[in-house]
Chain A
Amino acid sequence: MPNTKNYNKVQVLIVGAGPAGLAAAIHLKAEKPETEVCVIEKAADLGNHNLSGAVLEAEPLHTLLDSAVPGWRESEAAREVLASRIDKDDIMFFTKNRAINIFPMIKLAGIFRLGFGQMIHIADYSVQVSKLAKWLGRIAEDMEVEVLTGFAAEDIILDESTNMATGVKLVDQGRDKEGNKQPNFVEGEIINADFVVLAEGCDGLLTEKFIEKAGLKRDASQLYSVGVKELIKVSSEQYDKFTSGRVVHAMGFPLWTPVIGPGMFGGGIVYAGVKDHLSVGMIVGADWKYYDFNPQDALTNFKNHKFVKQFIDGGTVVEAGAKMIPEGGYYAIPREAETGSIGKGNCMILGDSAGFVNMLKIKGLHNAIDSGIQAAKAITETLNSPETAAVKYTELIERSNVIKEMKSSKNFRQTIAKFGPLLGMPLSVFGGLLPKFKIEKDYEAMTTARYRLKGNQEFDKDTFTAVVATEHREDQPSHLKILNGNICVQKCIPEFNGPCITFCPGGVYETINGKLKPANPSNCVHCKSCQRKCPFDNIRWTAPEGGGGPRYKRM
């Protein structure tokens, strides 16, 4: 079989097999089946690096599949992934000992078209996004999209003269700890592409490099939240008592207690998952100021709150994970200065990488999928002029529901960051009327204050990483880099006691012989909190060899 094909060249390269990237691939194949579409994903298998709550607003997914997969609703996979439709939506306010249902107030807000009103989830799907991604991946494969898992990219390559993205560079494989080449060393290949679609999820490695290299700008710096979540197997009685199809969002304790503190943005979630399983999570704005705080401690407090405890007591944690959520909203969308395009030339930025999370709805999955559809449309319209794709994409997405929503929740999160939850929440009612604030970056918020509800038991990170099932080839260079070790020893440890040691959900960081090191890089769950929360901005997350990282299946 004579084979002269250049396998390192593809027409459309999509980085990241999450909902955004796969939606783009599927829609593109549906529109133009002859297009060569290739998706690369750093996880070992589809869905392994996808984690969310997750509440999914149905509309964009329906649109995507209706046009691409006839009869999809009847498929077994659809029934499994979309088994749970939300019919009970509780929004609560927790005090230390009480749980108050504030859903009626939210509903009222909805009636008066106040921003808050968007927080209602009834008729949405409650999904496990790792399953969703796996399913979408299979659909894409059936449509002859090349979905290649286990390939991590470390850089995006720009043509010096045209400033167009020519492709990406994959991670070298087969180096030892010190970086020496082993006998099985393979240099990271360069993949060239006509179109590059960045759909890496929150704080994308290539996305951020591209933003810098191509000179994209954000009006306000991106703000993040850190989410930790556990899937807990409970008894049938507990599950029935909670009721399937129910989601609970809880504000207040243990993140925010008016007046005496702590004062953090975020809240806890309890979602009914598949039979006898509840997802319990804690999402915390990464601008927390307590040096000894760890979102997992808040999760422990939340799980011990009597409202939650009744449903999970005696249960077993069967899976767990952590991730970041981009919460900066409309002003944090990266754009090209001249054209305002979200991306540049032939390179587009999608989903969480662009920051399409609507903080009023506290949802972003639907926007991720929608942005994938718009990117696919843009590509089909610019097949002969790839350099105009990003502008086209932006034009389409501006008209779509995505940007409409982003505008309506414009600076909700910034308001809270600026004024704190106590004042910020009510102020945010004014929504888009408020001016754009200058907000400090998350890492700058760290202080020497202590988290009042810390408790005396350390969260068991070993068990956590074991259920995350995270794994990397041990004998490779650490993919977590401390830029200047002296800062850790001379500034950070004396002042803050090395917060990364505490907040890293995988327990990657340790002090060994007085030096702070990413001692256990193989425990990394790829949440990237460290590079956004190190108080001295002294940590960088780089891509490890493909196939490493968590193995989410039902997150």
Chain B
Amino acid sequence: MSNYIVLVKQVPDVTQITDNAFDPESGTLIRSRLASVINELDSQALAFANRMRQIGSNKTGKIIALTMGPPMAEEVLRYSLSRCADTAVLLTDAKLGGADTVATANPLAFAVRKIVKEILNEDSDYYVVCGMQSVDGDTAQVPPQIAEELGLACIAYATEAELRNERFEFTRIISGGSQVVAARKLPAVITVAKYEYPLFATFAATRRANRMEIVRWGGDDIKATHIGVKGSKTRVIRVFPPGKSVRKCREVDNAKSLAKMLVSSFKSGNGDISRNGNGQASYYILPDKRAEKFDRSFEGTKKENEDFKILAGTLKKLGISEISQIDDTAEEKILAAVDKRFHKKALKDMINGLQLTEPSYKGQVWVVAEHSNGRVHPATFELIGKARELADSLETKVGVCLAGHGLEPMAKELIAAGADNIYIIEDKLLSVFDPTAYRKVVADCISTYWPQIVLFAATAQGRMLAPMVSYRLGCGLTADCTSLDIRDSSRKGQMGILMQTRPALGGNVMATICTKNSKSQMATARPGVMKRLPADDLRTGRIIRHKVRLSNDDISLEIIKTELGGGDVNFDTEIIVSGGKGMQSRDNYERLVGSLCDCLGRKLGAQVERGASRAAVEQGFVERMHQVGQTGTAVRPKLYVALGISGAIQHMIGVANTETIVAVNSDPNAPIFKQCDYYIIGNVEDTVPQLVQALEAE
């Protein structure tokens, strides 16, 4: 009799952001001004668990909703109770606040243990079911980290469960397709990527739920090992509004020129409109290589840079050239000279910072490679490009950790892309990606060499592997970075550290984060954000073999079926071609969107997905899962082509983070023309074939 522990989270409702939610001074989002709702994927997870219970062999299994948060998080537990949960557990304690993903996963895992012990009476037949990620954090780290803490298998991105031969088989999304898997051992953690039928509350169940007792546990009840700010492995340095992108709104009068623009903007990006400040040069000089001894112009925040500049100027004025010259009287003089700009304590910290000349971390800069069918994933090459830049300024080497089977041929390509050392872990058991087996060997390899930085691609696979590896090694991890820079935090005594910048709260704010209490700094970066270096076939490098003992027991998943290029929609592609009402019919949509997708995919060597406006879905041109926008899926490809879409604000919100938007519409007053980069006025039936023809000729 399976039981289900469903993790639910209360999040700010980022779909209902109003203008007063932003601080007029700093432009940052004020979280308390947003309504709170249950994380949408968690509501799907709840329905998923309910479905498992319904189809399962025993229908009396318990569904237990668990959340961690402030007392008001009780609301999401009431939500769960009014739908299908039998019991609800609220983990709430001031001590648990300020946690990063490690300090969230850890207490939740301990709470799961306590639930199993006290509520399920040690019955180990259970599943932990949760949404793949939350809309506010957007990291997808907590579920795999919980699996790691509990030593369970983790089946990520599930979309359906079926019972076959007395056991559950899960359909899940993988890059470019889908897969049916089963856990080889129970219990297991399931993360739900999409389950379309969230449950409705009923009147009676809501009234019942409002009267039910909620189990409340504090930090001391669960005896977790990593909690709150102290237990966190990352620290937020600053939060700032994302750079507002300005669209070019340039009209193009023929398909030929538009084809040229499409190709060039895809290949070289969109000039000034870099998304959220990615790609900025990470120029950095180690402290002992700087011309001026007291040069601290590589701090992570502007204010620190200014403060140190003032301090250096003051020291010069006072004739102080050595730190040892600074005694109490000198300190007073400095404080007087800067007109009390710093507190005494701050000054002491700064002086201590000036003494530091060594970077805080040692070791190489690594990239964990991703590959399938003997081909390296393009994101790996992009990360090597970034790693090269970071390693050069830190004066160290770029290493690539390559685990799998039949790897030798890939090494050369990785070296040409900028790597110095390739660490190869070769094993037949690694011939397909199994999270548990891969995390074991990758973590083993990292902990043998301890690089100072480890980068993973934020692909479906990387977002699964990275949290397990980092948690296993006790290291912090920042997900989905759009910019990675080496900077100092001199006052905190940290030199040459990795500053990791990422969007949060659905792209409404940006946060710069650094790692703490970790032997290595780890991050994942989205494909398409970092730049690949031109291949240099003359480059040389070393191949280092690393051996890890693996057995069949290390494999957690049984892969039953893999289907690539299936019917599932994957909006995590570089290009999306969407059709709107202007398509007129399903046939036109099929023909026009289809031909342009094929052509762009072939000519640009990129993955392309089909999207649609709500109107197109409404009129049955294409299935709902293709809908892009406020009520559909928010996307962020490099290139978004909108065919016959008017550009209603609800649609445009969903594509705001796109690098380049191209529009074709016959209405010269279509609002989309004010919100795109390039457009052509013309009906899609004529323009698209011309565009395809022109692209073929490019």
Nearest Cβ on chain B to A184's Cβ, whole angstroms: 4
Closest to B212 in A: A1
- Which residues 204-229 in B have Cβ within 8 Å of A in the complex? 204-208, 210, 212-213
Are A150 and B51 interface neighbours, CB within 8 A?
A: no
Closest to B37 in A: A44
For chain B, the bracket of interface size reads 20 to 34
Nearest Cβ on chain B to A500's Cβ, whole angstroms: 18
Closest to B15 in A: A471
Are B650 and A318 interface neighbours, CB within 8 A?
A: no
Are B650 and A7 interface neighbours, CB within 8 A?
A: no
Nearest Cβ on chain B to A96's Cβ, whole angstroms: 27
Closest to A475 in B: B624
A177 to B60, CA, bound (A): 33
A111 at the interface (CB under 8 A from B): no
Closest to A319 in B: B18
Are A184 and B204 interface neighbours, CB within 8 A?
A: no
Report the interface size for chain A: residues with CB under 8 A from the other chain: 40
A170 at the interface (CB under 8 A from B): yes
Contact residue among A184, A189, A522 (Cβ-Cβ distance under 8 Å from B631): A522
Are B200 and A184 interface neighbours, CB within 8 A?
A: yes
Nearest Cβ on chain B to A333's Cβ, whole angstroms: 30
Nearest Cβ on chain A to B108's Cβ, whole angstroms: 26
B57 at the interface (CB under 8 A from A): no
B449 at the interface (CB under 8 A from A): no
Interface string of A460-491 (1 = CB under 8 A from B): 00110110010100110000000000000000
A469 to B646, CA, bound (A): 19
Are A186 and B200 interface neighbours, CB within 8 A?
A: yes
Interface string of B283-327 (1 = CB under 8 A from A): 000000000000000000000000000000000000000000000
Closest to B206 in A: A148
A316 at the interface (CB under 8 A from B): yes
A38 to B203, CA, bound (A): 11
Are A7 and B19 interface neighbours, CB within 8 A?
A: no
B20 at the interface (CB under 8 A from A): yes
Are A512 and B619 interface neighbours, CB within 8 A?
A: yes
**A45-B35, A462-B671, A475-B624 known; A8 vs B19 contact (CB < 8 Å):** no
Nearest Cβ on chain A to B569's Cβ, whole angstroms: 16
Nearest Cβ on chain B to A545's Cβ, whole angstroms: 8
Residues of A within 8 A of B16 (CB): 469, 551
A40 at the interface (CB under 8 A from B): yes
Are A151 and B203 interface neighbours, CB within 8 A?
A: yes
A478 to B641, CA, bound (A): 30
Are A174 and B208 interface neighbours, CB within 8 A?
A: no
Are A191 and B203 interface neighbours, CB within 8 A?
A: yes
Are A7 and B207 interface neighbours, CB within 8 A?
A: yes
Are A148 and B207 interface neighbours, CB within 8 A?
A: yes
A173 to B205, CA, bound (A): 14
Q: Is the interface of A mostly helix, strand, loop or mixed?
A: mixed
- Which residues 2-26 in A have Cβ within 8 Å of B in the complex? 3, 5, 7-8
Nearest Cβ on chain B to A498's Cβ, whole angstroms: 18
A471 to B617, CA, bound (A): 16
B47 at the interface (CB under 8 A from A): yes
Nearest Cβ on chain A to B622's Cβ, whole angstroms: 14
A146 at the interface (CB under 8 A from B): yes
A7 to B16, CA, bound (A): 32
Are B18 and A462 interface neighbours, CB within 8 A?
A: no
Residues of A within 8 A of B614 (CB): 474, 520, 522
Of B617, B619, B631, B648, most buried by chain A (CB within 10 Å of CB) is: B648
Nearest Cβ on chain B to A215's Cβ, whole angstroms: 28
Closest to B205 in A: A7
Nearest Cβ on chain B to A277's Cβ, whole angstroms: 10
A131 at the interface (CB under 8 A from B): no
A86 to B673, CA, bound (A): 44
Interface string of A230-249 (1 = CB under 8 A from B): 00010000000000000000
Residues of A within 8 A of B624 (CB): 474-475
Are B51 and A170 interface neighbours, CB within 8 A?
A: no
Are A318 and B671 interface neighbours, CB within 8 A?
A: no
Contact residue among A148, A174, A463 (Cβ-Cβ distance under 8 Å from B649): A463
Nearest Cβ on chain B to A76's Cβ, whole angstroms: 15
A443 to B420, CA, bound (A): 79
Interface string of B4-33 (1 = CB under 8 A from A): 000000000000101110000000000000
**A3-B208, A462-B671, A553-B18 known; A183 vs B51 contact (CB < 8 Å):** yes
Of B19, B198, B203, most buried by chain A (CB within 10 Å of CB) is: B203
A78 at the interface (CB under 8 A from B): no
Closest to B653 in A: A466
Contact residue among B203, B213, B617, B650 (Cβ-Cβ distance under 8 Å from A148): B203
Are B203 and A170 interface neighbours, CB within 8 A?
A: yes
A189 to B204, CA, bound (A): 8
Closest to B209 in A: A7
A304 at the interface (CB under 8 A from B): no
Residues of B within 8 A of A189 (CB): 202-204
Residues of B within 8 A of A471 (CB): 631
Closest to A553 in B: B18
Are A466 and B649 interface neighbours, CB within 8 A?
A: yes
A402 to B631, CA, bound (A): 44
**Given pairs A475-B624, A553-B18, 19 additional interface contacts (CB within 8 A):** A1-B212, A1-B213, A5-B208, A7-B205, A8-B204, A146-B207, A151-B203, A182-B197, A183-B51, A184-B200, A186-B200, A189-B204, A191-B203, A316-B19, A462-B671, A465-B650, A466-B648, A466-B650, A474-B618
13 contacts between A and B (CB under 8 A): A38-B207, A148-B207, A173-B200, A184-B197, A186-B200, A189-B204, A191-B203, A316-B19, A318-B20, A462-B650, A474-B617, A519-B619, A553-B18
Report the 7 A-B pairs with minimum CB-CB distance, sorted nearest first. Answer: A7-B204, A184-B197, A173-B200, A466-B649, A462-B648, A7-B207, A183-B197
